[in-house]
Amino acid sequence: MPKRMGIAEALRKAIAEEMQRDSKVFCIGEDIAVPGGWGGAFTVTLGLEKEFPDRMIDTPIAELGFFGIACGAAMMGMRPIVDVQYGDFLFVACDQIIDNIAKMRYMSGGQIIMPVVMRAPIGATGRGSQHAQSMERYFTGVPGLKVVTVSNAYDAKGILKSAVRDDNPVMIFEHKLLYGSKGARAESGAIDGTSDIPDDDYVVPLDKAAIRREGADVTILSWLLMLHYSCEAARRLAEENIDAEVIDVRSLSPIDYRTIGTSVRKTGRVVIVEEGPKTGSVSAEIAAGIMEQFGEYLRCPIRRVASPDVPVPFSPVLENLYRPDVSRIAATARQVMKDM
């Protein structure tokens, strides 16, 4: 029987199943397996230490160090799942992630596989500038690294399983407002990311976008929280007889230009929505890719909805101004419809 689950619960189930399936899989991170603790910052690993006491490793507060540990363990045949409490902390670990984890397979001439899964919560959520950044942009340009996002529980479970079984390093970005974390770790302003999770051992590929709403007039590309906002914007637009197609880009490296291209050929209009700042963003990369590959199908310029080029502010008033919302997405889609 399928069971309704949130993202945190679906990830937990995926991790447990992968650890049952393969004794090489283990979890490492801060506060992930403390009895009576939190199961990581957002309850994803809650209670797993009971079933896997030897494979749930709590670390010192040492992100650089434990990403290095994961790198070394992976080269010796293990398959680590590394947890950071907040995506922002990835900067501390970047030497290990970018210089070692992402490059070892290539610079060894293919002697090494690097099955490291890295999970990182992101998103502006009332915590000011340093527990809030949209980190995708910093990793999508790193050769060797796969970068994916999960916007619902079904994907979360299937993508985590694919990532664990992949011999390349995979960075999974998760959004704090979508986890469905419960109890003391629940987030205010959370959005429903639950899905019906089937019993079978399914996987979701790491290189495929997903069409969340079919439409003929304009293609809206987004991921994570912005995907949910884009779907809501599409509902509003439908009332105005604008038929938006909403695509969950989902895989940010590599980008699924096949799915995107099919949609662009159909609509000829593109809006890309991203939570982070506009300059140097993933949406800039996607826009360039669309121009190069499908430019002749565009009826009007690509438009982007993103945050201004400022750090994430704390005050709820400012944070809400900072983060793209349903109104801005809908307004931009209307503008594109007027452009041509």
User: Which of 18, 245 has the CB closer to other proteins?
Assistant: 18
At closest approach, how far in Å is the CB of 143 from other proteins?
6
Of these, 19, 48, 74, 171, which contacts other proteins (CB under 8 A)?
74
Of these, 75, 178, 264, 290, which contacts other proteins (CB under 8 A)?
75
User: Which of 92, 238 has the CB closer to other proteins?
Assistant: 92
User: Which of 99, 309 has the CB closer to other proteins?
Assistant: 99
Radius of gyration of the chain, Cα coordinates, nearest whole angstrom: 20
Stretch that binds other proteins, among 138-146, 157-165, 183-191, 212-220 (CB under 8 A): 138-146
Of these, 146, 175, 212, 323, which contacts other proteins (CB under 8 A)?
146
User: Which of 105, 323 has the CB closer to other proteins?
Assistant: 105
CA-to-CA dists, residue 223 to 50, 74, 230, 240, 267, angstroms: 34, 29, 9, 24, 19
Report if residue 143 touches other proteins, rule: CB under 8 A.
yes
At closest approach, how far in Å is the CB of 223 from other proteins?
20
Q: Tokens 């749930």 map to which residue?
A: 56
At closest approach, how far in Å is the CB of 78 from other proteins?
5
Torsions phi, psi of 247, nearest 5? Answer: -115, 130
Stretch that binds other proteins, among 107-115, 128-136, 191-199, 232-240 (CB under 8 A): 107-115
Judged by DSSP in three states, 151 sits in coil
The answer, yes or no, to whether the previous bond of 254 is cis (omega within 30 of 0) is yes
Judged by DSSP in three states, 246 sits in strand
Report if residue 118 touches other proteins, rule: CB under 8 A.
no
Q: Which two tokens stand for residue 277?
A: 């700042």
User: Which of 222, 251 has the CB closer to other proteins?
Assistant: 251
Separation of alpha carbons 307 and 336, rounded Å: 19
What is the enclosing helix (H) or strand (E) of 26? Answer: strand 25-29
Report if residue 148 touches other proteins, rule: CB under 8 A.
no
At closest approach, how far in Å is the CB of 207 from other proteins?
9
* CB 277, CB 310: distance < 8 Å: yes
Of these, 43, 45, 96, 149, which contacts other proteins (CB under 8 A)?
96
Stretch that binds other proteins, among 36-44, 102-110, 186-194, 320-328 (CB under 8 A): 102-110
Of these, 2, 51, 95, 216, which contacts other proteins (CB under 8 A)?
95
What's the count of helices (H) and strands (E) in the chain, helices before strands? 12, 14
At closest approach, how far in Å is the CB of 74 from other proteins?
8
Nearest C-alpha neighbor of 136 from the set 166, 172, 93, 169? 172
User: Where are the alpha helices (H) located in the chain, listed in sequence order?
Assistant: 7-21, 48-51, 63-75, 94, 104-107, 136-140, 153-165, 224-239, 257-267, 282-294, 316-322, 326-339
At closest approach, how far in Å is the CB of 186 from other proteins?
32
Catalytic residues: 131
Report if residue 64 touches other proteins, rule: CB under 8 A.
yes
Of these, 43, 45, 100, 140, which contacts other proteins (CB under 8 A)?
100
Separation of alpha carbons 68 and 75, rounded Å: 11
Report if residue 219 touches other proteins, rule: CB under 8 A.
no
In 10 A of CB 245, how many CB atoms?
A: 23
User: Which of 112, 298 has the CB closer to other proteins?
Assistant: 112
Report if residue 183 touches other proteins, rule: CB under 8 A.
no
* CB 307, CB 279: distance < 8 Å: no
What is the contact surface with other proteins in residues (CB under 8 A)? 26, 54-55, 57, 59-60, 62, 64-78, 95-96, 99-100, 104-112, 143-144, 146, 168, 254
